Amino acid sequence: MSAPVVVAAALVYLLLLFAVAYAVEHGRLRAARITRSSLVYTLSLAVYCSSWTFNGGIGRASEAGIDFLPIYLGPTLALTLGFALIHKMLRVSRANRITSIADFIGARFGKSTGLAALVTVIAVVGLVPYIALQLKSVSTGLDVLIARDPSAEAGAPVLADGALWTAIVLAVFAMLFGSRSLHPDEHHPGMMVAVALESILKLVALTAVGVFVVFGVFHGFGDLFARGAAEPGVRALYGHGGLMRGIDWTATTLLAMLAFLCLPRQFQVTIVENVDRRHVDRALWLFPLYLLAINLFVLPIAIGGRLILPEAADPDSLVLTVPLTAGQPVLALIAFLGGLSASASMIVVEATALSIMVCNDVVMPALLRWRALGLAQRADLTRMLLWVRRAAVAGLLALGYIYMRSDSTGYTLVSIGLMSFVAIAQFAPAIVGGLFWRGATKAGAVAGISAGFVVWLYTLFLPSLAISDFIPPAFATDGLFGIALLKPYALFGLAGLSPATHSFFWSMLANVGAFFSVSLVTRPSALERAQATLFIDAFRFDDAAQIWRRTAYLPDLMSLAARFLGRERADAAFAGWARNRGVDPATTLHADAEMVLFGERLLAGVVGAASARVLVGAVVKEEPVGVDEVMRILDETSRLIEANRRLEDKSRALEAATAELSQANERLTVLDRLKDDFVATVNHELRTPLTSIRTFSEILRDHPELSTEQRADFLRVVVGETERLTRLINQLLDLSRIEGAQKPVMTAIDLGAIVTDSAAAMRQVFATNRVVLEISVPAEPLPVMGDRDGLIQVVVNLLGNAAKFSPADRGRVRLAVYASGGEVELAVTDNGPGIKPADRDIVFERFRQVGDTLTDRPGGAGLGLAISRGIVVQHGGTIWVEGAPGEGAMFKVRLPRALSAGDSDAPAAAAE
């Protein structure tokens, strides 16, 4: 096939992709809506399948059979287990506007610029071989299609170097997609759609070649496998076994799991470009399905290639050479475009992700701190940011190209890719530990990542260059300084594993060991603790970063944002935020802590968390961290606070209980005294009549000479005192019954009827005392819930008192019942001496009588009113006395009215 045709096809395809992306980003595509679907999200995750899958996987399968698969089983398992992890990363990244893996790790460990820069450097160094892999596979593909002998290239002029042109074209392509403009959230919908389309083409191309091989070249799977089984060399591909191979398999699965979660491009598509968290749920099974589909034909193509091609054929370009050999150049061209898609999507996304990291976490922090540049004062930095990113993309591709040139003969695609995987997996302990382990510290993360990286350099990266002349080959074969124990591929004598597994084991040992041990012996700073809480409790704190009491002049903050985002975007962002909070940015001068935080996160989306913190630090007045606030955020402390608060609550409750107890004690003391008084009074009250009865009886016994008249007089006194004694005992019984809280049976009764009955019973008493009794009872019934006998006793008591205290002959007592609001009132008024205001409460106490008890004892023990009050209280009512002294007393009783008037008469009447 002629070179111009192949190159033109490749260029047209790339331009077409760019056109689609451009249309999507500018809303020209009617189907732009689908760009926000879970399908596009899933397909963009398939950026995982790079040239490694497309060309390298088949090469690997043709040499080692099923061994190409752990790289895809790993992500399948990682997604299953990482469900919670991915959701947590999404939540954290969204809340903190994290836009790269370096930003993520840096932000977790106290917004550390140094750690983020370290992660970036490792990612760049680790991924350079991976990028080289893509370039190598595209340029090899070009050579195969154009049927040029790659070995002749060494003497050819640089301009004829296909790989260089590939690198340049892909670099431009990556810049066009990834760093054409700045977005605060780093969303690139155009890029995502392009990647999704490329993923479809990858799958279609590989499946087409597979179907052709199985059904075009051979007669179906059965034929293909049967003929493969006939060849001993191919039959070996069908099996799997051996301890070391098993360890390699498991280690590669684990490696792929970790790398899938930590690769910058996977972070970009999974976390940063995610527009809807529910897409993750769908992608969790749809993406493994894609992996299964794209790998279905890998082994058949590999077996087919082994059967129809000579031994010496390059295993990594089987997908092209098989159709070419079978006379299908168009199919080969489609396969080439599929491989180009795989490379291009990987390079575009990886370069975009890495350029964001390089720009935000290395270059910008350095430039901003370099005061001589005066960058911090520049008005508009958006253009500069973009150029830094473009330069980073160009630099990455250049490094990839240089690596490829220096390593062009040494390795297969898969072993180069695995090298990058091991480097990237070094981030996994810090990420997983950082998300779930509160004790992880920045020092631990730095130690772990550095240790793992150094081991990786020694056991995998440097030897890969040693084979290719940069470093003497003896380093790889004999070890450093010729010491056998230090052989890079068999460190400390650990031989028999593949280089990648070997390096994975040692680097992870160093990484995890250093991460845990250093974390355990160091203490996190306040900021680290606060960030740890934000990450670990991502689902508990929605927006909890109010630890820093920072204020700023709003114009300062806005102009800072404008410099990095552009005036319009910054204004729009602030306006949107202010609208949600009900603040008017036009009239606000001071930005509070929340607004400052918003500004910082806005900036973090563009320049990374660490840089944003430095930038915002320049315009804010930062008060020292309030101890209270930090305490509130930190969980272990907040648990302490919680316990403390509970303790305080308890002690407060205890205090309250103590107070209640002492009150009860006081009451008890009073009651005890009252009881003593009561007993003494009762004693006295009982003794007085008893003494007089005894005295008079003794006189009657000892003096038979007394006259009949005298005897009659004395006997009358004895009878009177006996009656008084009986009355007293009856009243005491009444009182104890009432105070014993034996609630009488309550029925609905008419108070009017009770009053009438009581008055009738008392008529004789009034007649004897020569006092007039007037009664006023309304015609309608006044229903109350009550005990008939009790209420009659109350009325009789009151009337008895009134009759007693009213002057004879001119005494007038008025008894009235009437409705008063929702209640019923009863009033007994007399025109006696009345009761002094000071005595009005006392009269209701037991044995209390107003006035001179010696001269004025009209036959009562002073229990009547106490009993009455007890009965009224039992009925839920109140009793009190009114009236000025000298004008007579007015006793009032108020009882709640029964709800229904209908059922009031009948029981009352029946009880008569």
Q: Are 330 and 155 in contact (CB under 8 A)?
A: no
Span from 285-293, 374-382, 424-432, 770-778 in contact with another protein (CB under 8 A):
285-293
Structure tokens belonging to residue 328: 């299908």
Minimum Å gap between C-beta 295 and another protein is: 8
Q: Does 238 bind another protein (CB under 8 A)?
A: yes
User: Which member of 160, 296, 373, 873 binds another protein (CB under 8 A)?
Assistant: 296
Residue from 130, 134, 261, 256 nearest 198 by CA: 134
User: Which member of 54, 130, 225, 475 binds another protein (CB under 8 A)?
Assistant: 225
Q: Which is nearer to another protein, 254 or 340 (CB)?
A: 254
H/E element, 909: helix 905-911
How is residue 479 annotated by DSSP? -
Minimum Å gap between C-beta 278 and another protein is: 7
Paired strand residues for 550: 622
Q: How far apart are CA 279 and CA 286, in angstroms?
A: 10
How is residue 626 annotated by DSSP? P
Q: Does 226 bind another protein (CB under 8 A)?
A: yes
> What is the per-residue burial (b if ≥16 Cβ within 10 Å, else e) of 47-69?
bbbbbbbbbbbbbbbbbbbebbb
Span from 181-189, 225-233, 381-389, 854-862 in contact with another protein (CB under 8 A):
225-233
Q: Does 299 bind another protein (CB under 8 A)?
A: yes
Q: Does 250 bind another protein (CB under 8 A)?
A: yes
- The CA-CA-CA angle for residues 525, 528, 531, to 5°, reads 150
Q: Which is nearer to another protein, 253 or 849 (CB)?
A: 253
Q: Does 230 bind another protein (CB under 8 A)?
A: no
Q: Does 109 bind another protein (CB under 8 A)?
A: no
Q: Which is nearer to another protein, 255 or 347 (CB)?
A: 255
Sheet holding 823-829, edge to edge: 771-776, 811-820, 823-829, 890-896, 878-882
Neighbours of 232 (CB within 10 A): 7
Minimum Å gap between C-beta 70 and another protein is: 8
**Binders in 25-84 for another protein, by CB under 8 A:** 65-66, 69-70, 73, 76-77, 80-81, 83-84
Cβ-Cβ contacts under 8 Å for 257 (sequence gap 6 or more) = 74, 75, 77, 78, 81, 82
Span from 221-229, 340-348, 409-417, 631-639 in contact with another protein (CB under 8 A):
221-229
**Binders in 448-477 for another protein, by CB under 8 A:** none
Q: Does 837 bind another protein (CB under 8 A)?
A: no
**Binders in 660-679 for another protein, by CB under 8 A:** none
Span from 143-151, 226-234, 312-320, 672-680 in contact with another protein (CB under 8 A):
226-234
Q: Are 147 and 317 in contact (CB under 8 A)?
A: no
Structure tokens belonging to residue 750: 């008419």
User: Which member of 24, 47, 237, 381 binds another protein (CB under 8 A)?
Assistant: 237
Q: Does 285 bind another protein (CB under 8 A)?
A: yes
Q: Does 496 bind another protein (CB under 8 A)?
A: no
Q: How far apart are CA 796 and CA 74, in angstroms?
A: 97
Tell me if residue 142 falls in helix, strand or coil. Answer: helix
Q: Does 766 bind another protein (CB under 8 A)?
A: no
Q: Which is nearer to another protein, 93 or 801 (CB)?
A: 93
Minimum Å gap between C-beta 269 and another protein is: 19
Span from 194-202, 217-225, 459-467, 790-798 in contact with another protein (CB under 8 A):
217-225
R_g of the chain, CA atoms, integer Å: 50
Residue from 174, 169, 190 nearest 350 by CA: 174
Minimum Å gap between C-beta 309 and another protein is: 20
Residue from 153, 620, 682, 112 nearest 362 by CA: 112
Q: How far apart are CA 51 and CA 56, in angstroms?
A: 6
Q: Which is nearer to another protein, 289 or 715 (CB)?
A: 289
User: Which member of 172, 284, 526, 700 binds another protein (CB under 8 A)?
Assistant: 284
Tell me if residue 551 falls in helix, strand or coil. Answer: strand
**Binders in 515-544 for another protein, by CB under 8 A:** 539
Residue from 392, 428, 400 nearest 416 by CA: 400
Cβ-Cβ contacts under 8 Å for 64 (sequence gap 6 or more) = 237
Paired strand residues for 816: 776, 827
Q: Are 382 and 564 in contact (CB under 8 A)?
A: yes
Minimum Å gap between C-beta 296 and another protein is: 7
Q: Does 244 bind another protein (CB under 8 A)?
A: no
Minimum Å gap between C-beta 80 and another protein is: 4
736-744 contact pairs (CB < 8 A, 24+): 738/867, 738/870, 738/871, 738/874, 739/870, 743/874, 744/787, 744/789, 744/790, 744/874
- Residues contacting another protein: total by CB under 8 A: 41
Minimum Å gap between C-beta 215 and another protein is: 15
User: Which member of 113, 134, 253, 355 binds another protein (CB under 8 A)?
Assistant: 253
User: Which member of 183, 187, 282, 632 binds another protein (CB under 8 A)?
Assistant: 282
Q: Does 281 bind another protein (CB under 8 A)?
A: yes
Q: Which is nearer to another protein, 1 or 432 (CB)?
A: 432
Paired strand residues for 784: 749, 897
The label of the residue with tokens 């066009």 reads 176
Cβ-Cβ contacts under 8 Å for 281 (sequence gap 6 or more) = none
How is residue 897 annotated by DSSP? B
User: Which member of 26, 36, 240, 673 binds another protein (CB under 8 A)?
Assistant: 240
User: Which member of 1, 7, 91, 729 binds another protein (CB under 8 A)?
Assistant: 91
Minimum Å gap between C-beta 524 and another protein is: 23
User: Which member of 28, 31, 160, 222 binds another protein (CB under 8 A)?
Assistant: 222
Minimum Å gap between C-beta 204 and another protein is: 19
Q: How far apart are CA 397 and CA 113, in angstroms?
A: 25
Minimum Å gap between C-beta 226 and another protein is: 5
Q: How far apart are CA 430 and CA 170, in angstroms?
A: 32
Span from 169-177, 283-291, 701-709, 732-740 in contact with another protein (CB under 8 A):
283-291
**Binders in 261-280 for another protein, by CB under 8 A:** 277-278
Span from 241-249, 304-312, 473-481, 565-573 in contact with another protein (CB under 8 A):
241-249
Q: Does 203 bind another protein (CB under 8 A)?
A: no
* Straight-line distance from the first to the last Cα atom of the chain, in angstroms, rounded to the nearest whole number: 126
User: Which member of 16, 31, 147, 292 binds another protein (CB under 8 A)?
Assistant: 292
Minimum Å gap between C-beta 228 and another protein is: 8
Minimum Å gap between C-beta 599 and another protein is: 26
Residue from 339, 319, 357, 261 nearest 45 by CA: 261
Residue from 316, 362, 322 nearest 343 by CA: 316
Q: Which is nearer to another protein, 192 or 536 (CB)?
A: 536
Minimum Å gap between C-beta 780 and another protein is: 60
H/E element, 503: helix 499-521
Give residues in contact with another protein (CB under 8 A).
Answer: 65-66, 69-70, 73, 76-77, 80-81, 83-84, 87, 91, 221-222, 225-226, 228-229, 237-241, 246, 249-250, 253, 277-278, 281-282, 284-286, 288-289, 292, 296, 299, 539
